[in-house]
Amino acid sequence: MSSVTTSNPSAAPKGLDGVVVASTAISHVFGNEGRLVYRGYDIGQLAGKATFEEVCFLLWKGHLPNQVELDGLRTTMSAQRALPDAVLATIKAMPASTDPMDDLRTGASAIGAALPISGTATFEQALALAARFPTIVAAFDRLRKGKEPVAPRADLGHAANYLYMLTGEVPPENHVKSLDTYLVLLADHSMNASTFTARVIASTESDICSAIVGGIGALKGPLHGGAPALVMDMLDAIGTVDNIKPWINQALDGHHKLMGFGHRVYKTTDPRAEILREMARQSSTPEFFALAHGTEEYALAELHRRKSDQKLYTNVEFYSAAVLSSVGLDRDLFPSTFAISRVAGWTAHVLEQMVGNRLIRPQSEYVGPLGLTFAPVSERP
């Protein structure tokens, strides 16, 4: 029996670190500089200035809309918010204990069947999905709490309507501004795991809904979209400003991961984290912000002292938790709210993938045995 293995010296690094898998004009992370660019605009040029609807148009069409284009987009998106009866029935059939990301994944799949969405991906299909994501999440959240879903309002913007459908009340303007800025910040982020997943599926010439369902599945993982809720759990465990140093020291001494720090691409502070920090300062209670900011400062000092070679800085998840909590969202809705934003980027990448599409089919390095001989079951040890 042979146990010879093969080795390919040209094999890609684990996790595809540094491997370029596509050319894109949609967004890019300049990791060493701490910059994120959407279609040529630094994120600081858009966050707090452009609405989420404007950024959707930018990602889908390649330029910021003029007033006529923006009005048309808003009118069309608001008209597409309602869920088909079959989708609402699917959501109503889910147990109240369902993870909100499972609800969104299932609801998005049901939209693909109910509309139906098929064939080559189109701008209209991208818009139809993005418009309905908040309705799926809000309808399930109310149903699991024993309440009836709230119908969307055409006179409210995307962020305001989402909060309205969750509570049944028109949200305060500061909550709308915070959530809208969050949606802008998370709308796209180069070739992350969920975007790569969506592009791989799209490259098979499957439909856009299947690609987006795949993206949701990737985003659900705690190493991708589930971290903000874990940041809140960490801050709850720390509890008070006086407990920051002993808690972090104990965690690091025990080789436990601190949530909200470090990024595979950024080698300095995530620019989105800097914007979200100021938003959290304005929207959180003074006590909570003191806890969060104190945790950030001491954690960074210790990480840099103990792991100076790893270049660990605050990432977007740390203050996303504070901002999403401040607008009244339950923490288990954080990942699906992330998806409400990121569907803009996913769909933009699917549309781009279909231009001169080629099936994404990488190779793998085989490290298993060779030369084994089959034996009937009666002769096996």
Predicted pLDDT of residue 1: 41
Q: Measured between alpha carbons, how far is 113 from 319 in angstroms, rounded to an integer?
A: 37
pLDDT in tens, 131-167: 999 999 999 999 999 999 999 999 999 999 999 999 9
- C-alpha triplet 273, 277, 283: angle, nearest 5°: 135
Q: In what order do the strands lie in the sheet with 27-30?
A: 27-30, 35-38, 41-42
Q: Are 332 and 126 in contact (CB under 8 A)?
A: no
Give the CA distances from residue 82 to residues 13, 89, 97, 150, 170, in Å, rounded to whole numbers and listed in that order: 45, 13, 24, 10, 18
CATH 1.10.230.10 in the chain is located at 227-326
Sign of the CA dihedral running 160, 165, 166, 169: positive
Sign of the CA dihedral running 170, 176, 180, 182: negative
Predicted pLDDT of residue 363: 87
Q: How many CA atoms lie within 13 A of 316 on its CB side?
A: 25
Predicted pLDDT of residue 2: 41
String of DSSP letters for 226-244: SHHHHHHHHHHHH-SGGGH
Q: Measured between alpha carbons, how far is 240 from 225 in angstroms, rounded to an integer?
A: 26
- C-alpha triplet 258, 141, 234: angle, nearest 5°: 15
Predicted pLDDT of residue 8: 54
pTM of the prediction? 0.92
* Exposed / middle / buried, residue 265 (Cβ in 10 Å: 0-12, 13-18, 19+): middle
Give the CA distances from residue 250 to residues 253, 290, 294, 317, in Å, rounded to whole numbers and listed in that order: 5, 20, 16, 22
Q: Measured between alpha carbons, how far is 180 from 158 in angstroms, rounded to an integer?
A: 8
Predicted pLDDT of residue 196: 96
Predicted pLDDT of residue 11: 66
- Tell which residue, 76, 67, 85, has the closest CA to residue 128: 76
In the predicted model, residues of the chain with pLDDT beneath 50 are: 1-7
Give the residue numbers annotated as catalytic, written as ranges.
263, 317
Domain 27-222+339-353 sits in CATH at 1.10.580.10
- C-alpha triplet 229, 234, 237: angle, nearest 5°: 130
**What CATH number matches the domain at 227-326, 3.50.50.60, 1.10.230.10, 1.10.357.10, 1.20.1180.10?**
1.10.230.10
Q: Measured between alpha carbons, how far is 57 from 53 in angstroms, rounded to an integer?
A: 6
| Number of residues assigned to the chain | 381
CATH 1.10.580.10 in the chain is located at 27-222+339-353
Give the DSSP letter of residue 1: -
b/e per residue 226-247 (b: at least 16 CB within 10 A): bbbbbbbebbeebeeeeebbeb
- Tell which residue, 370, 23, 323, 311, has the closest CA to residue 190: 23
Give the CA distances from residue 311 to residues 63, 100, 264, 268, 308, in Å, rounded to whole numbers and listed in that order: 34, 33, 10, 7, 6
Predicted pLDDT of residue 157: 98
What backbone torsions phi and psi does residue 65 show, to the nearest 5 degrees?
-75, 150
Give the DSSP letter of residue 41: E
